[in-house]
Chain A
Amino acid sequence: MKKSTALTATFAVIAVATLAGCAGSNGASTPSTAELDAMAQKMVQQSFHDKGIVKVKEALAADETLRDCDAAAVAGHTIDAATEKKLEAANFKTIQWPANGKYLGDWKSGEKIAQSGRGRTWNDKADSANGGNCYNCHQISKEEISYGTIGPSLYHYARLKGVTDPNSPEAGDRQIHLGQDLERQGLQRLLQHAARRHQGHPHAGAGGRHRRAAARPEIPGQSVDRHHDPTPSGPGRDG
Chain B
Amino acid sequence: MKAHQLALAAAVLGLIATSVAWAQKSTTEAIDEYREMLQDGNPAELYEMKGEELWKKARGPKNASLEKCDLGMGAGVVKGAFVQLPRYFADTNEVQDLESRLVTCMSTLQGINPKEIINGKWGKGERANVTALATWVAAQSKDMKFDLPQSNPQERIAYEMGKHAFFQRGGSHDFSCATCHGEDGKRIRLQDLPNLTKNPGDGVGFAAWPAYRVSNGQMWTMQHRLNDCYRQQRFLEPGYASPITIALGVYMGVNAKGAKSAVPAIKR
A interface residue numbers (CB < 8 A to B): 1, 3-5, 7-8, 11-12, 14-15, 18-19, 27, 30-31, 36-37, 39-40, 43-44, 46-51, 54-56, 58-60, 66, 69-70, 73-74, 120-123, 133, 135-137, 143, 145-150, 189-190, 193, 197, 205, 210-211, 238
Chain B contacts for A190, CB-based, 8 A: 173-174
Contact of A56 among B100, B183, B236 (CB under 8 A): B236
CB distance from B181 to the nearest CB of A (A): 10
Supply 9 A–B pairs (Cβ within 8 Å), ascending by A: A4-B246, A8-B95, A27-B153, A43-B247, A54-B234, A137-B188, A150-B186, A189-B174, A193-B172
On whether the beta carbons of B243 and A43 are closer than 8 Å, the reply is yes
Chain A contacts for B163, CB-based, 8 A: 74
What's the dominant secondary structure at chain A's contact region? helix
Residues of chain B from 137 to 191 with CB closer than 8 A to chain A in the complex: 152-154, 156-158, 160-161, 163-165, 167-174, 176, 178-180, 182-183, 185-191
Residue with the highest number of chain A CB atoms closer than 10 Å, among B93, B183, B234 = B234
Q: Kindly state whether residue B223 has any CB partner on chain A within 8 Å.
A: no
CB distance from A22 to the nearest CB of B (A): 11
Chain A contacts for B92, CB-based, 8 A: 8
Q: Which chain B residue has the least Cβ–Cβ distance from A36?
A: B160
Q: Kindly state whether residue B114 has any CB partner on chain A within 8 Å.
A: yes
Q: Kindly state whether residue B38 has any CB partner on chain A within 8 Å.
A: no
Chain B contacts for A136, CB-based, 8 A: 188-189
Chain A contacts for B243, CB-based, 8 A: 3-4, 7, 43, 46-47
Given contacts A69-B169, A193-B172, contact A4 B189 (CB under 8 A): no
Q: Kindly state whether residue B7 has any CB partner on chain A within 8 Å.
A: no
Bound-state CA distance A155–B226 (Å) is 33
Contact of B235 among A8, A39, A59 (CB under 8 A): A59
Chain B contacts for A149, CB-based, 8 A: 185-187
On whether the beta carbons of A143 and B20 are closer than 8 Å, the reply is yes
Q: Kindly state whether residue B24 has any CB partner on chain A within 8 Å.
A: yes
Given contacts A47-B244, A70-B169, contact A8 B154 (CB under 8 A): yes
Q: Kindly state whether residue B201 has any CB partner on chain A within 8 Å.
A: no
Chain B contacts for A7, CB-based, 8 A: 243
Given contacts A11-B154, A54-B237, A121-B231, contact A40 B161 (CB under 8 A): yes
On whether the beta carbons of A73 and B178 are closer than 8 Å, the reply is yes
On whether the beta carbons of B236 and A30 are closer than 8 Å, the reply is no
Given contacts A123-B231, A137-B188, contact A47 B154 (CB under 8 A): no
Chain B contacts for A12, CB-based, 8 A: 93, 154
Q: Which chain B residue has the least Cβ–Cβ distance from A55?
A: B236
Query: How many of B's residues come within 8 Å of A, CB to CB?
Result: 60
Map CB proximity to A onto B15-34 as digits: 1 under 8 Å, 0 otherwise: 00000101010010000000
Given contacts A8-B94, A39-B161, A189-B174, contact A50 B236 (CB under 8 A): yes
Contact of B174 among A5, A37, A66 (CB under 8 A): A66
Bound-state CA distance A238–B178 (Å) is 11
Q: Kindly state whether residue B238 has any CB partner on chain A within 8 Å.
A: yes
Bound-state CA distance A49–B100 (Å) is 19
On whether the beta carbons of B160 and A120 are closer than 8 Å, the reply is no
Bound-state CA distance A180–B232 (Å) is 29
On whether the beta carbons of B189 and A135 are closer than 8 Å, the reply is yes
On whether the beta carbons of B186 and A54 are closer than 8 Å, the reply is no
Bound-state CA distance A122–B190 (Å) is 24
On whether the beta carbons of B164 and A37 are closer than 8 Å, the reply is yes
Bound-state CA distance A30–B246 (Å) is 19
Bound-state CA distance A189–B174 (Å) is 8
Bound-state CA distance A76–B233 (Å) is 22
On whether the beta carbons of A47 and B164 are closer than 8 Å, the reply is no
Chain B contacts for A120, CB-based, 8 A: 171-173, 234
Chain B contacts for A193, CB-based, 8 A: 172-174
Bound-state CA distance A148–B180 (Å) is 10
On whether the beta carbons of B157 and A30 are closer than 8 Å, the reply is yes
Given contacts A8-B154, A189-B174, contact A48 B167 (CB under 8 A): no
On whether the beta carbons of A5 and B170 are closer than 8 Å, the reply is no
Bound-state CA distance A47–B158 (Å) is 14
